[in-house]
């Protein structure tokens, strides 16, 4: 009996995207869809290396996503606004220029998407827009603003970026409320 022809990595990835995605979504999550494990089992190699290479060759598109990455067919990934577009969006509130702190506050207000109250400093495009507009690193300023209580910063386990919130809008867990009750009586 003839052995079935093995798919190439590109064929496997494209077929996986087409067959594993669920409507109305255009992409698949590399981990939660089962793709990474299926790829490892089929090829015995690291799927991240293969998908990174295929993305660099333009044969698929990837977007970082919590716990892994989203994989899309070419041309189907959501478009990210450019740093210039984000700057325009933040500045559209008036004709005067904004201070660095005002830019941060307006950035959080304009870039967050319902129902979320905060923005991811990297994935929202905020950091790139701040760097381009002020020619400075936003981390130092946002850290100072958080220390002064002007914004809230929640670090992420991934280590890539942070969540930025307006004061009082960061997530509050039960432990926070319980700790406050114990501390305050």
102-141 residue pLDDT tens: 999 999 999 988 788 999 898 888 999 999 999 999 999 9
Residues of each domain in the chain carrying CATH 1.10.10: 9-72
> Of 31, 39, 49, 30, which is closest to residue 11 (Cα–Cα)?
39
Top-level CATH class of 9-72? Answer: mainly alpha
Answer whether 0.85 is exceeded by the pTM.
Answer: no
> Of 119, 148, 19, 135, which is closest to residue 73 (Cα–Cα)?
19
């Amino acid at each position: 009996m003839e052995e079935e022809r093995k798919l190439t990595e590109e064929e496997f990835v494209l077929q996986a995207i087409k067959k594993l995605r669920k409507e109305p979504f255009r992409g698949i999550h590399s981990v939660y869809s089962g793709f990474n494990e299926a790829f490892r089992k089929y090829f015995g190699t690291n799927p991240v290396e293969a998908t990174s290479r295929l993305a660099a060759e333009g044969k698929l598109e990837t977007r970082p996503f919590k716990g892994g990455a989203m994989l899309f067919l070419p041309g189907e990934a959501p478009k990210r606004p450019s740093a210039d577009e984000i700057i325009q969006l933040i500045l559209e509130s008036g004709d005067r220029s904004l201070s660095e702190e005002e830019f941060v506050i307006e950035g959080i207000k304009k870039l967050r998407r319902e129902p979320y109250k905060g923005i991811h400093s990297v994935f929202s495009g905020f950091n790139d827009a701040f760097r381009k507009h002020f020619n400075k690193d936003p981390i130092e300023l946002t850290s100072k603003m958080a220390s002064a209580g002007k914004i809230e910063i929640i670090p992420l386990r991934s280590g890539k970026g942070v969540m930025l919130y307006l004061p009082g809008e960061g997530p509050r867990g039960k432990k926070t409320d319980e700790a406050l009750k114990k501390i305050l009586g």
